[in-house]
Structure 1
């Protein structure tokens, strides 16, 4: 397991956008196919996954260098020691112990990167599997879900936005569309004004008389999301969308974009999906949502998923319609988002005769 420094110093970082093809062995006239293959490889995973996998691989490689251990060939014992270090908080100076979910993601990233080198890692080897089972048993905690934002919360958040600025108009549309559509943050920022307008788009919108139709590429494939017009212009997601498009003078390309020039100009590039989480947290705090708690506690409660959970928890309709809107493959997944609904709907105690 000792590190072969001459071998490891020349190892390039492998990211999920790298091509698994043996490019050096292919003739030059296939370059277009090589480039297209790279594009398909990149499309196989989300940008957030690629970013996380790249970061995790670099973290593992740096730990191996500091520990004088070799990256190649894949050694389950080395990986087992690494995840032990992550769980104990000793993988990096000043680093806290990683959560079980973070360690599982790091392990997936390591396995992916090794497979791209044609050197698969056996994650079922007892040096990894047994250690990972012990980490789960000792450190696993119940899932910490983000707080659902209910309609009254959302209305209060909207009041904190400046209706007279482009940024305020945009943020208003993002919050309302995200809530009414039950959208993930990447689905919000991935929208285009029309079909096939950008390479990185995840869907597009069509504004109709009765509402907006969103066609989205999500985790479970393509789906359509209907967002009906609201009972009031002040809270109507479609009206907010129309206002943003009109005042931003948008005709083609990404729907939600950066606002620049002291809030007077709209940039051509797409807004990063992290901005959705920041917007939700900022406006929830400004509106005093869950004001009985400390600001630190409140800051940890809200994120982009708070909009998605808010729709699932608020819409008083048949569960199957909520499931369809959120794009879930199972009703069980939808119920995880329903923070305040359907508790004790079925009382097995009484059903048993007690």
Structure 2
């Protein structure tokens, strides 16, 4: 072989590949893909699905069954066992059972072993359970505007009270889910765990000017359950009930200018921390203030404690706003008008009278 042939052969050979570098890159991509897969579900849903899988796995071990491959007949037996209770556990509701089945199916898909829920051992058992144990959906009580005013009145005017007032008012006026409330940042790209951000337009002084045709407002950009959406919140007629005025007061006195909008407050010195509140705070806040304000005082005390949740604010706006349904649907970010109607507690009850329309 001549020197020229040797050079030609060397130039035609592929460059050496660092397999360790490729493996590290692929491993990093695998970790990122798993993170994206987990983000396909909300944190609450993911926690519930993980708990469902753990409960199902424990049941399988007690019965001596293997989790793989997925066996529809075994899953059907598990569904029946959940409804029977036992071992110190109460029977579950049909809604909880359906959620557990969804969690089991999700985990099997992640394992590359999809579960066939159309198999008769699952579908027939589930249909029988629904027929025997099904109940109308239990809806949380809606918080109406008068209720909200009473709830705001029971809160103090310290930092914690000002923060909670802003959360209740923004949650109601925006028709927001509790995770959307606590997920707000002061601006875009300010945190890794944010669900959206705010923009304030106009000045607070114009809020009380009823002659103003457009006094600005608050624009929320939210990554919600059905994707990205924009929510407009207009200014109120009084600073005492204006959601934006309350938010501006909280931001000014709490010195909130960057990062999470609603944060924890230290118990010792009352200072504002850097940590974002969890969505559970919203649920506890609604329940506590609704009880203190005497909302639905006609209910027994035990029922009142269970009557309210974070969704009560969302349902209250949907039920109170006397505007076209399409506007409410877009504001709440619902994929269908039917879902919006489920939130409108008693708003349209008996408005359409088919008895009279039929001539009786």
> 1:109-258 maps to which residues of 2 (within 5 A)?
109-163=103-157, 165-209=158-202, 210-258=216-264
Larger radius of gyration: 2
- Tell whether 2:317 aligns with 1:321: no
Q: Which of 14, 22, 30 is 1:34 aligned to?
A: 30
Aligned residues: 326
RMSD: 1.3
Distance 1:94 1:323, change over 3 A: same
2:73 is aligned to 77
**Is the 1:280–1:304 contact (alpha carbons within 8 Å) kept by the matching residues of 2?**
yes
Secondary structure, counterpart of 1:197 in structure 2 = coil
SS in structure 2 of the partner of residue 233 of structure 1: coil
Counterpart Cα distance in 1 of 2:191 and 2:169: 24
Please give the per-residue CA displacement for 1:97-136, whole angstroms capped at 9, x wherever unaligned.
1111111111111111112111111111111111011011
In the alignment, the residues of structure 1 paired with residue 279 and residue 268 of structure 2 have an alpha-carbon distance, to the nearest angstrom, of 21
C-alpha deviations, 1:311-334, integer Å up to 9, x for none? Answer: 111112222221111111222221
Distance in 1 (alpha carbons) for counterparts of 2:272 and 2:97 = 40
Query: Which secondary structure does the structure 1 equivalent of 2:220 belong to?
Result: strand
Alignment of 1:326-345 (within 5 A): 326-345=332-351
2:99 maps to 1:105: yes
- Answer whether contact 1:162 1:169 (CA < 8 A) is retained: yes
Cα deviation 1:273-324 (Å, max 9, x = unaligned): 0111110000001111111222111011100111011111111222222111
Q: 1:263 Cα shift?
A: 5.9
Secondary structure of the residue aligned to 2:233 is strand
TM-score (norm 1): 0.89
For structure 1, the 5+ residue unaligned runs are: 1-25
Q: How far apart, in 2, do the equivalents of 1:135 and 1:181 lie?
A: 38
State the match for 1:57 in structure 2. Answer: 53
Q: Tell me the equivalent position of 2:210.
A: none
Per-residue Cα deviation, 1:224-255 (whole angstroms, up to 9, x for no partner): 10111111101110011111111111121111
Q: 4+ residue stretches of structure 1 with deviation over 3 A?
A: none
Match of 1:13 in 2: none
Residues 166 and 263, structure 1, Cα contact 8 Å, conserved in 2: no
- Cα separation, 1, equivalents of 2:53 and 2:309: 26
- Residue 14 of structure 1 is matched in structure 2 by none
